[in-house]
Copies of this chain bind each other. A is one copy, B any other.
Amino acid sequence: MKERATAVEAVRRTNLGEVLRLVHRHGPRSRSLLTADTGLNRSTVADLVTALAERGLVTEQEPDGNKRVGRPSPVVSANPDVVAIGVNPEVDAIEIGAVSLGGGLRTRARLELTRVPTVADAVATIADLVTRWQSEELSGCRIVGLGVAVPGLVRASDGLVRLAPHLGWRDEDIATPLAEALGLPVAVDNDASLGARAEHLFGAAREHADVVYLNGGASGIGGGLILDGTLIRGSGGYAGEWGQTRPGIANEAHRRTHDGVLEDEVNRARLMAAAMLVAGDDHALAAALAGAPGPTADEEVVRQRRVLAATISNAANVLNPSMIVLGGFLGILRDRDPEGFDADVRERSLAVAAEDLEIASAALGQDRLLIGAAEAAFAGLLADPLGS
């Protein structure tokens, strides 16, 4: 192996990656469209597509009969037999999905657990299922890697799980044993960051370069941050921990804790209690809140919305995103009256920061984390499509 590739070869890698990224993220495209999108020469694009097709990364179909003047241009599609595995270990289950190049979820499974998994449990369970998939559902497929979405703090430099409180993991390395068990490259990242990436690529925040993503789960509030089109991880990889910030609460009556952090105040358990629910998913929670008798549930919703809106407008002032995406129960809070919520945020934001700001509830459902995790696994391929 060469110590260092030439800079001209890097151009080739970049261009190959750009073509592959286009067909991966924006669906099948004709060669002529690719030349327009990349700005490269026709002959160059032809060469790049041929190279990708030889490696089995893309396929060329007959031109679609869209009846335009001129010679029809063959359509280039990502090969759906090239897949990445996305994994999301949680307290009660491990979810695994195989995502095709092109973005389609090919298969998925939810493995229920009887106890909170250790790293060894998780590795064994995952390796077992993936190995089975390799000889069944995914036989004939090329698996390029695994991505793991961990509900906790993940060190960016090496993917070490510094702290995943609900799993009870502390300074655990899951990447190495998984990679050894399967012989595949493994990427590990925080779940909210990967959710942000998924919403950015395939969900509510498509085409937005500056995105704030906030997700409310049973365990707390996490976030992801895309600025200038790139996922921001911070110096250690721990960026996005909105749940641990201290919200500005103007009305002291709205405060439930002394000097508490956002996830103490805006909190799924409090909503469940207000809706008089003992258990249930987000869907059940939304329904219960809508049908709850008396003013208690409404008051709690209003209170949490207020605190959340204050936090979001702070984020809008500091980061000036064009899109803020709310996932999990935060989406429920907003959906009770989206216009009112958005107006509340805008009112507390700088006018110029608010003028281009959109707010949306998450578009992708449960598959969000699996897609984001798989995307992290695809990253290496997209950076260097022909690389060994």
Contact = CB atoms under 8 A, between A and B. Distances in A.
B317 A245 contact: yes
A158 interface: no
B318 A350 contact: no
A235 B209 contact: yes
Contact of A235 (B250, B258, B317, B321): B321
Given A163-B352, A252-B252, A310-B246, A228 B238 contact: no
Contacts of A4: 39
A223 interface: yes
Interface in A287-302: none
A250 B239 contact: no
A246 B246 contact: no
Nearest to A39: B4
Given A4-B39, A317-B242, A248 B250 contact: no
A57 to B, nearest CB: 20
A259 B239 CA distance: 27
A379 interface: no
A315 interface: yes
Contacts of A245: 248, 313-314, 317-318
A356 B163 contact: no
A11 B259 CA distance: 53
A326 B75 CA distance: 54
Contact of A232 (B228, B238, B356): B228
Given A40-B7, A153-B350, A320-B238, A249 B252 contact: no
A287 to B, nearest CB: 32
A15 interface: yes
A138 B210 CA distance: 41
Contacts of A320: 233-241
A304 interface: no
Nearest to A248: B246
A274 interface: no
Given A7-B40, A10-B11, A318-B223, A353 B313 contact: no
Nearest to A223: B318
A227 B139 CA distance: 42
A322 interface: yes
Nearest to A4: B39
Contacts of A234: 210, 227, 319-321, 353
20 contacts: A4-B39, A7-B15, A8-B8, A155-B352, A223-B318, A227-B234, A228-B230, A234-B319, A234-B320, A236-B355, A238-B352, A244-B350, A245-B248, A245-B314, A245-B317, A246-B313, A246-B314, A246-B348, A248-B249, A315-B318
Given A241-B353, A245-B318, A252-B252, 8 more contacts: A4-B39, A7-B14, A223-B318, A234-B319, A242-B317, A245-B314, A246-B313, A248-B248
